[in-house]
Amino acid sequence: MTAVHHPSLADLTTTAVGGPVNTYVRAETEEEIVAAVRAADQAGERLLVVGGGSNLLAGDAGFDGTVVHIASQGIQVDHASDCAGTLLTVAAGHSWDDVVAWTVENERVGIESLSGIPGTTGATPVQNVGAYGQEVSQTIARVSVYDREAGRRTSFAFADLHFAYRDSYLKRTTVDGSPRFVVLAVHFQFTHGELSKPVRYAQLAQHLGIELNQRAPLADVRQAVLDLRAGKGMVLAPQDRDTYSTGSFFTNPIVSDDVIDSLVPANAPRFPVVDASGEPVQGSTKLSAAWLIDNAGFGKGFGLPGSRNERLGIDGADVAGGRASLSTKHTLALSNRGEARAEDMASLARVVRDGVHQVFGVELVPEPVLVGLSL
């Protein structure tokens, strides 16, 4: 366990914004994670838990408490059989994409469409990470945690996590990045096979050259997802300023079927809402936040000099001086162009959120955790 004073949150997040912290602790084992969290709690200090920093937008004033950086590593096969599948335990700090790569290489089925997502494994159940028709909740069996209120380790079975779209009980008990339950390890259950789960995302199926709900080789699905994400600036690349972001900044809004036709035109993309097991939920429909942003007049690169929302009469450079913009590849990502501060990112997010509401009456909700700032 390593303690360092006065680093910057900009160094710990994929947006590269955020001010200094009082104390930084890098915890590389479960024991070190528990010890660091317990020490901060006993000292009465504010606590911020950081993994890969890909789902965090931190304020310019920084954090006047302890930042615990989860850096534990390890993939362990607990049980494997052709009949029961594989039970896999992954340390909270392990790279998520490395886990996906392991499952594909070892013919474990269920998270191949979650390739290329930055961050650590411990963050995935909190947010119920999902993409291209899959959600991590569909393969989670149990999550091991440290309960800060009770001062002890415990675990949650799948049913106790109350997963929903980009949500979980773990997230609902987290305040300003400070969780009641600190994830120590995630336990997965996978089936075995060479082929993916049925592909339920039209763009992915088209890229693979298959029909919806058909299966494809695991490696092909992983590569297709990586290609699609890279084309949208959603795979981290130091030379590409579009990737200095939190990925998708807004969740796709879910609206009641009773009002959807009064909000968006018939040609607006619509997607089924599914529960934690992947079954359809009746009475609600998921809209595309990217489509709403684009059709409210915020095009790719809005915020850069020369960009303009003609529909609402907003010059892009007036929002954050060109320091922050929508990605030039995808309207759902907000990017640091090199000199942005957290407030520049927040200003851009506010303008986009308010503009979408003005045009469509739909409220966009931010996906990343906001610490030290608000929209």
| Consecutive H or E run containing 33 | helix 30-42
Which residues are bridge partners to 371 per DSSP? 58
Please write down the long-range contacts of 179-182, taking CB distance under 8 Å and 24 or more positions apart.
Answer: 179/49, 179/126, 179/148, 180/147, 180/148, 180/149, 181/145, 181/146, 181/147, 181/148, 181/156, 182/33, 182/34, 182/37, 182/49, 182/68, 182/145, 182/146, 182/148
Residue 314 CB-half CA count within 13 A: 22
Best CA proximity match to 17, nearest among 244, 237, 318, 234: 244
Helices (H), 119-201: 124-127, 169-172
Phi and psi, residue 143, nearest 5°: -130, 125
308 catalytic per annotation:
no
Catalytic residue (one of 108, 142, 148, 166) = 166
Catalytic residue (one of 30, 32, 112, 367) = 367
Catalytic residue (one of 245, 248, 307, 335) = 248
- Cα–Cα distances in angstroms (integers) from residue 203 to residues 43, 59, 236, in the given order: 50, 35, 21
248 catalytic per annotation:
yes
Q: What CA–CA distance (Å, rounded) separates 250 from 269?
A: 16
* Residues taking part in catalysis: 166, 248, 367
